[in-house]
Amino acid sequence: MKWSIPEKVIERGRTYVNEDRVLSVTPDKEKNVWHAEVLGTELYLVTLDATAKEVDYCQCPYWEEHHYCKHTVAVELYLRKQGKTRKINEQTPIKKAFSASEMFSNGFARLGSEKETSQPLQVEFRIDTIATNPYHQEMDILGISLKVGHRGTARTYVVKNIYKFLQMYQENKQYAANKQQAFFLSADAFDEKNRALLNRLAGIAQTQQLIGQAGIQISGKLDKKYLLLPVEFGKELLLQLNEVYTQITIGETKVNEADFQIGEPLSFSVTKQEDHFPLEFVKDFDHLLSYYNWGLLDGTFYELTVEQKEIYVTMQQLFKRFEQPVIDYPKEELANLFMKVLPYLRKIGRVQVAPEVQNEIEESELKAVFSLRKIKGQVDLQVDFTYGEVVFSSDEKHHYMPENHPEILRDFQQEARIEAIIETFGYQASTKNWQKSLPAGEQLYTFFTREIPVLRQLGEVRIGKKLRELYLDAQHHRPEIVIEENGSWLDIKFDVSGIQESEINEVLRSLLQSAQFYTTENGQVLSLESEEFQEASAALKKLRLSLEAKDGAIQVPLNQGLLLQEQFADQASFSAGFQQMTEDLIHPENFEAQLPENLHAELRQYQEVGFRWLKMLSHYQFGGILADEMGLGKTVQTISYLLSEKQEKQKLNALIVAPASLTFNWQQEIKRFAPTISASVISGTKEEREGQMAQPADVRITSYASLRQDIDAYQALDLTCLILDEAQMVKNSATKTAQALRLLEVPQRFALSGTPIENNLEELWSLFQMIMPGFFPNKQKFKELSTQEIAKMIKPFILRRDKKSVLHDLPQKLETNYYSVLTEEQKKIYLAYLRQMREEIAQMDSTSFRKNRISILAGLTRLRQICCDPRLFVEDYEGSSGKLEQVKDLLLAAKENGRRVLLFSQFTSMLSIIEEELAQEGFESFYLRGSTPPQDRLTMVDAFNSGEKDVFLISLKAGGTGLNLTGADTVILYDLWWNPAVEEQAAGRAHRIGQKNVVEVWRMIAEGTIEERMDALQQEKRELFQKVIQGNETQLQQMTEEDIRLILSIGEES
């Protein structure tokens, strides 16, 4: 090895050997050289001369310049470690190159050895100023530079390229400080504080390389050894540098440690010298760093606000202009010094004013005094600007300044502003004071409520007695309000002190017209903008009613009482009767009402509350909407109310208007729950309806369509109560039905609807127009009401409970029978088939009955199909189906209430008809047939349970068992199956583990048909029903002759 190779290079070569970077060494006897591979920053091929000339070779750039390198040294040291020399002799074994696997392993092994052998390093940081503009030192920016060296040694090396250094640090690579010295920049080589700073500087370097120097122009080219100190977190970084060795040099000033303060560090003085007053800059910053908003003074950085920096830069430029730190002020300019200069200087430093200077001037705060008087049809305004005891007045007679008083520093800017405001009020300067004509009416009100408050903001206001008496302020003239009943009205009575009783009506009319004031007969103005008047006005406006003042009071309908009670709670007194009414409206559950006798129903707790609510509203002759969710028993609550009314008043003449599909259902429910009430359904032809209406009845039940045709007849019946079922059907106030309903004069009206609002709030307006005319204002004013205002108004008159809120009162499954009526065409076909079957069976004995059993059962199925829809087997049938129409109505109501429905039928052709009908109504439905592939079934079930589509149509054979459809909460059994077990299976698709909602099961029954007979016999002949399963002829054949004859007995009266 050549003696001239530096020790550092030899040391690096030895490190390479220890780190297993020499991957292969092979002798070449023919050429008398050694071939080797050494892993450095790249894989280098090394040739080592085996002769005494030692003419070696390496591919690395360092060898190209020096003809030796750490790689050639590493190969020779490796040979020595193996007990060999450069010389190749006969005994030198030919060692093959390392295998690929050995080289691969050795290459990775050195990564760990690098970290293990990296030497501890230390960094020295330095902060210097870098000029950006040679003429403006304050524009200097701060730069960070580094020195690096081995820890524990005194020698360090300047980092010439800080960006390259930080990049190598991040990549854990070697950095060459110069040709002889390099450092492996492993993060572990630095202590925790140095490592934290280097990590942060590396991030800053990356940012500056990406986006440049944030628009900062450097004078000349920026030395690569500097990294600019970012403005946005310069303070934070300097404080962090305090924790390590850092040299800070700002211009010519050395800073031992970065310290930051906030304040006014500079110093100025004002003294007196004969007849002039020097302003001297006593203490200035050593250096201003404008980019950072810092000023350096005595080794401390002062943080400046934007305003402070602007003041300082302006001051510095002005002092430079005169090339001296002293400005002389003559005595006549002394006031300008104190008013225009010193206020700014005090924001950046301490100003010392010599006592003899202070004696020459007096600084007092401006106080304006405005004196207003009424003089001969004029308003006279005297303005006094006072500074301490000195007065400068618009009336020179009121000027005052003591003898030998120091000069006053007047605030001419504020004085001019005040005078400009006075001129905008219409005053004109006279020889003495400011004057203008005495205003009247609205101008007088503006004078007191707009002009005077502005003057009070500017100073003290003094108003003469005669002028003051023209204004009746709210503080001394508050309204006293009393609210009391007056028949079907509420009287809101007002009394205002200082106002004659004869003028109260005019005051109230002004209030109703949203006037700001009222002008009395003697020219005074009464402010209506006080809190009390404004609260009263706001309350009356919320009624959106056409109100009139009469006899010192405003009358509003009794049904607005709760809203008035809320609005006037803190400012009005109420009569005892009014207070009881509002208590009943707020707590209807406490209203005293006894459930009627002969009610064949046990009401649940929430249903009894509904009954009391109906009775309470009826007591005060209010209408209301019973808006319970579908299935909570609106019908039984209403029947309980009707029965109570009959028992209490010994008379009942009620009209129930419902969809045609529900009229007979109402009749059945009244018979079931209140058999002492006579109920008649008004339907059929006009002659039939007239005959039915002529018959006495407690309750008449008709459809909306029939009502429109018979409105004149109903007007003559002297009705006492009107019930609108599914009242959303008349949500459009423009329909003829809605108009007809409004013609009826009925003292008590209620609506039943699970969805009183379907599309917009105007539907609610329409309903209330029918159940409580005049409750809402006209439609135009109603649209101006907010949803919150409407909610408050209707709260006592709408009772809404959902199943979740009364779940503890409900079973997990509710079953309801819905009765439909065959249409005329449907009825004709049914009776024809029934008559034919009866005639055939009547001629059969038991033997022939058994022989013809299959055809008899087929005839039963035909009758059931006719109950569903004659189109199932009657060709060219163009009529409708009563049951189908009823189901469509129920599905529409279910959709509006957010219910999700399973509809079962044994007849797949019936399901196809239903699917087509629902599509025309805008429903989306799934249809599960027997032919539906198993995978498609699962897909449909999952989609439905996830919320897709409204209805799931299911045939019995396809989906009677094995499906989990907990996404549904309603099950419709379209055609009666009679077998309770089969019904349970159908309901079980939804009513099973995982179902979180109450499930309702609706059984559709065609009234007056074999379906009604089978339903009535279900309890009496349970074994019979267990034999009947739709589509299962085996079980149908088990029915006895007696069973079948009993089923066919219904309809004989027809």
- Report pLDDT digits (tens) over 543-554: 656 677 777 777
Cα(892)–Cα(472) distance, integer angstroms? 62
Instruction: Tell whether the model's pLDDT for residue 1029 goes beyond 50.
Output: no
Looking at residue 546, what is its pLDDT? 67
Tell me the sheet residues that pair with 57.
47
List the structure tokens of 459. Answer: 């100073």
| CATH 3.40.50.10810 is held by the domain 595-809 | yes
- At residue 667, does pLDDT exceed 80? yes
Token pair for 306? 């934007």
pLDDT in tens, 112-171: 444 444 689 999 999 999 988 888 888 899 999 999 999 888 899 999 999 999 999 998
Whole-angstrom distance, CA of residue 1019 vs CA of residue 252: 111
Strands ordered across the beta sheet of 624-626: 679-682, 699-703, 654-658, 721-725, 748-752, 624-626, 798-799
Confidence of residue 94 (pLDDT cuts 50, 70, 90): very low
If you search the block for the tokens 């002020």, which residue do you land on? 329
The answer to whether 923 and 950 have CB atoms below 8 angstroms apart is yes
pLDDT at 489: 81
Q: To 10 degrees, the CA torsion angle through 123, 129, 130, 134?
A: -160
The pLDDT, as a whole number, for residue 1037 is 41
CA distance 163 to 181: 18
| Segment 288-323, tens digit of pLDDT | 999 999 999 999 999 999 999 999 999 888 888 877
Q: How many CA atoms lie within 13 A of 1037 on its CB side?
A: 9
DSSP string, 177-191: SSSS-EEE--GGGS-
**Distance in angstroms (rounded) separating the CA atoms of residues 887 and 266:** 91
pLDDT band for position 967 (cuts 50, 70, 90): confident
Mean pLDDT of 358-367: 87
Is the Cβ–Cβ distance between 459 and 368 less than 8 Å?
A: yes
777, with CB counted inside 10 A (0-12, 13-18, 19+), is middle
d(CA 927, CA 938): 12
Closest by Cα among 685, 676, 719, 715 to 700: 719
pLDDT digits (tens, 9 = 90+) for 740-757: 898 899 999 999 987 777
**Element (DSSP H or E) covering residue 893:** helix 882-896
In SS3 terms, 941-972 reads as HHHHHCCCCCEEEEEHHHHCCCCCCCCCCEEE
In the structure, what pLDDT confidence band is assigned to residue 1023 with cuts at 50, 70 and 90?
very low
**Average pLDDT in the 228-232 region?**
91
Find the mean pLDDT for residues 683-694.
92
Question: If you write DSSP's letter for every residue of 257-317 in order, what string do you get?
Answer: S--EEES--EEEEE--BTTEEEEEEEE--SEEEGGGTEEEETTEEEE--HHHHHHHHHHHH
Strands ordered across the beta sheet of 471-472: 471-472, 525-527, 517-519
Strands 654-658 and 517-519: unpaired
Q: What is the pLDDT of residue 268?
A: 94
d(CA 234, CA 238): 6
Q: How far is CA 793 from CA 142, 565, 620, 765, in A?
A: 70, 11, 16, 12
Report the pLDDT value the prediction gives residue 895, as an integer from 0 to 100.
92
| Per-residue pLDDT, 96 | 45
- Cα–Cα distance measured from residue 710 to residue 713, given in angstroms and rounded to the nearest whole number: 5
Q: What pLDDT does residue 759 have?
A: 61
Q: Does residue 539 surpass a pLDDT of 80? A: no
Is residue 715 within 8 Å of 709, Cβ to Cβ?
no
Task: Identify which of 758, 488, 717 has the alpha carbon closest to the alpha carbon of residue 623.
Answer: 488
> In this predicted model, which residue has the larger pLDDT, 564 or 583?
583
* Chain centre distance of CA 496: 46
More confident residue, 929 or 885: 885
Q: Phi then psi for 29, rounded to 5 degrees?
A: -65, -30
What pLDDT is stored for residue 1036 in this prediction?
A: 41
Q: What is the pLDDT of residue 858?
A: 87
Percent of the chain with pLDDT over 90: 44
Q: How does pLDDT run across 592-649, given as a tens digit for each residue? A: 999 999 999 999 899 999 999 999 999 988 999 998 877 688 999 999 999 999 999 9
CATH of 813-1047, one of 3.90.1200.10, 3.40.50.300, 2.60.40.290, 3.40.50.1820: 3.40.50.300
Name the band, by pLDDT with cuts 50, 70 and 90, for residue 198: very high
State residue 219's pLDDT score.
Answer: 62
| DSSP conformation letters of 163-217 | HHHHHHHHTT-EEESSSS-EEE--GGGS-HHHHHHHHHHHHHHHHHHHHTTTTPP
Q: Is the dihedral of CA 665, 669, 670, 676 positive or negative?
A: positive
Element (H, E) at 848: helix 846-851
pLDDT (0 to 100) of residue 1024: 33
User: Looking at this protein, which amino acid is placed at residue 34?
Assistant: W
The answer to whether residue 1035 scores a pLDDT higher than 70 is no
Mean pLDDT of the chain: 85
Query: 124 in the Ramachandran plot: left (φ > 0), alpha (ψ -120 to 50) or beta?
Result: beta
Degrees, nearest 5: CA angle 1038-1041-1045? 125
Which residues is 897 bridged to in the sheet?
none
pLDDT recorded at residue 893? 92
- Which pair of structure tokens corresponds to residue 1040? 């006895």
- The candidate with the shortest Cα–Cα distance to 704, out of 751, 635, 768, 650, is 751
The length of the chain, given as a count of residues: 1054
Task: Using a pLDDT cut of 70, give the percent of the chain over it.
Answer: 88
Cβ neighbours of residue 737 under 8 Å, at least 6 residues apart? Answer: 704, 705, 707, 708, 729, 730
Taking 80 as the threshold, does the pLDDT of residue 109 lie above it? no
pLDDT band, very low/low/confident/very high, at 1027 (cuts 50, 70, 90): very low
In DSSP notation, 3-46 reads TTS-HHHHHHHHHHHHTT-EEEEEEETTTTEEEEEEESSSEEEE
Q: Mutual orientation of helices 234-241 and 192-211 as an angle, nearest 10°? A: 150
The pLDDT assigned to 1050 comes to: 54
- Listing from the earlier edge strand, what are the strands of the sheet with 479-486? 549-550, 553-557, 489-496, 479-486, 572-574
β-bridge pairing 654-658 and 699-703: parallel
State if pTM tops 0.75. no
